[in-house]
Amino acid sequence: MNIAVIGTGYVGLVTGVCLAEIGNQVTCIDIDHEKIAILKEGKSPIYEKGLTDLMQKNIEKENLHFTTDYNEGLADNQLIYIAVGTPQGEDGSADLTFIDKASESIAAALKQDAIIVTKSTVPVGTNEYIKEKIQSALSENITIQIASNPEFLRQGSAVYDTFNGDRIIIGSDDQSALDVLEEVNADFHLPIVKTDLRSAEMIKYASNAFLATKLSFINEMANLCERLGANIDNVSNGMGMDKRIGSSFLNAGIGYGGSCFPKDTRAVISVGKDVGYDMPLLENVIGVNERQKVILVDKVMERFQEIKGKKVAVLGLAFKPNTDDMREAPSIFVTESLLDKGAAVHAYDPVATENAKQILSDKITYAANVKEALDGADIALILTEWNEIREIPLSDYKKYMNHPVIFDGRNCFDLDERIGNDVEYHSIGRPVIN
Ligand code: NAD
């Protein structure tokens, strides 16, 4: 099938590459000229495992093309995916500016009937709005159908997830659109759920809101464990064995970040407000997460009282491992709080440093490796559980730091490992080892 994908970010690029891989002719469109130039050279502007190889393979097979020109990108394509960003607006609602602009560009360039498929996460009702906006601007002899195909990939394993996800959701009020999308998606060999348009939009928001709730819940339990002398790892393990609860998303830490959970939870509350429905549970999920993001700094202050002039090594900046994404990363809030208190922050991340510089500029020192970050440090904070960071031997903390005091926001180490190792170790929801 001939397919256009609008937006070449984490979702759009992975979608385009994977649709090409299963045998479609795909043209990816983006308004960012620099990004398209990089893509045309066969390079990926984002860090995502396995993406570059798959992309190059399909460029060579001439299945995959890139353009900034909507006329070129939409020509002959019957299936048009929208995968532009839907960031958080100032009032917490989803900002649909990019959706609006993409819809206008589609309407201006489309010359044939097509199915528009929205991958972007959008508030319930947005797909109807997109259809109306595009259809009303087209000439009478062109008809579009609309479908929602929300995305569930996880950054860091996006290509793997596309071929190994739990389900594919397709929502439309048009049976023929559902049939076409079912056929296209059949080659991913995953369970397909067909539903109505509004329910598909809601499935995405409800899923993210639920996952965020699970994280805030376990973080709250972790904070209580600390005060009661229990160990959250043992508690999560015992809870997770109950199939009704499930073991995933029960890892306590310094809260969720990234480009989805923070904005999507706020967007759900905002759509609730629009229809006069308060959502106190989700309000508190967000509140618990806000507190959790800086909990390591609270622990540092409790331990040291004063950190002015101290060298603090920050290990990991990305919002989670295996991605270069810094959007809403807890490291931003932790680092800014440490700077406010007068600490000298030396940070290391295996891939997110360039993106971190855009946000934290020259307020901190960017270390080229773990050793540089730890060298002469008074305190070490673990913020992202990259394997490289998990695997730092305890002997390195002892060798490089003044006196090794570690605050681990991701519970990377077994407590047993710490005992007898001359390292003071604070983590989340577990006893302090010193
Ligand atoms: P992103 O910011 O990484 O990429 C968006 C891309 O769209 C950018 O390259 C931008 O230049 C391009 N763009 C903006 N306006 C355009 C226009 N008018 N025409 C063409 N291109 C345009 O965003 P993302 O992280 O890929 O997220 C996209 C959507 O998918 C969002 O709604 C997000 O909530 C949702 N989503 C994201 C993830 C994730 O893990 N990132 C997972 C599931 C769903």
Q: Are 47 and 189 in contact (CB under 8 A)?
A: no
275 and 300, same domain (yes or no):
no
Q: Please list the alpha-helical segments (H only) found in 152-294.
A: 158-164, 175-186, 197-228, 232-240, 261-274, 280-293
What is the residue with the minimal CA distance to atom 10 of ligand 1? 7
Amino acid in position 44? S
Quick check: is 432 in a domain? no
Which residue among 15, 18, 38, 84 is best mutated to probe the pocket of ligand 1, counting the most ligand atoms within 8 A of its Cβ? 84
Sequence letter at residue 209? A
Alpha carbons 124 and 275: distance in angstroms, whole number? 11
For residue 67, say whether it is annotated as part of any ligand binding site.
Answer: no
Which residue carries 């071929």 as its tokens? 163
pLDDT tens for the 434 residues of the chain, in order: 999 999 999 999 999 999 999 999 999 999 999 999 999 999 999 999 999 999 999 999 999 999 999 999 999 889 999 999 999 999 999 999 999 999 999 999 999 999 999 999 999 999 999 999 999 999 999 999 999 999 999 999 999 999 999 999 999 999 999 999 999 999 999 999 999 999 999 999 999 999 999 999 999 999 999 999 999 999 999 999 999 999 999 999 999 999 999 999 999 999 999 999 999 999 999 999 999 999 999 999 999 999 999 999 999 999 999 999 999 999 999 999 999 999 999 999 999 999 999 999 999 999 999 999 999 999 999 999 999 999 998 889 999 999 999 999 999 998 877 666 788 999 999 999 98
179 and 276 housed in the same domain: no
- Please indicate, yes or no, whether residues 286 and 303 belong to a single structural domain of this protein: no
User: What is the SS3 assignment for 398?
Assistant: helix
Distance CA 50, CA 285 (A): 34
Take atom 11 of ligand 1 and give the residue whose Cα is closest. Answer: 32
How many residues are given for the chain? 434
Cβ atoms of 352 and 284 closer than 8 Å:
no
348 neighbors 314 (Cβ within 8 angstroms): yes
Of 291, 313, 341, the last residue of a domain is 291
User: Which residue segment(s) compose the domain that 419 sits in?
Assistant: 294-426
Whether residue 67 has its Cβ less than 6 Å from ligand 1: no
d(CA 127, CA 201) in angstroms, rounded, equals 8
CB neighbours (10 Å) of residue 7? Answer: 26
Does residue 320 sit in the same domain as residue 225?
Answer: no
Q: For residue 335, give the CATH number of its domain.
A: 3.40.50.720
- 286 and 321 together in one domain: no
On whether 49 is known to bind a ligand per the annotation, the reply is no
CATH number for the domain harbouring residue 239: 1.10.1040.10
Q: Does the annotation flag 253 for ligand binding?
A: yes
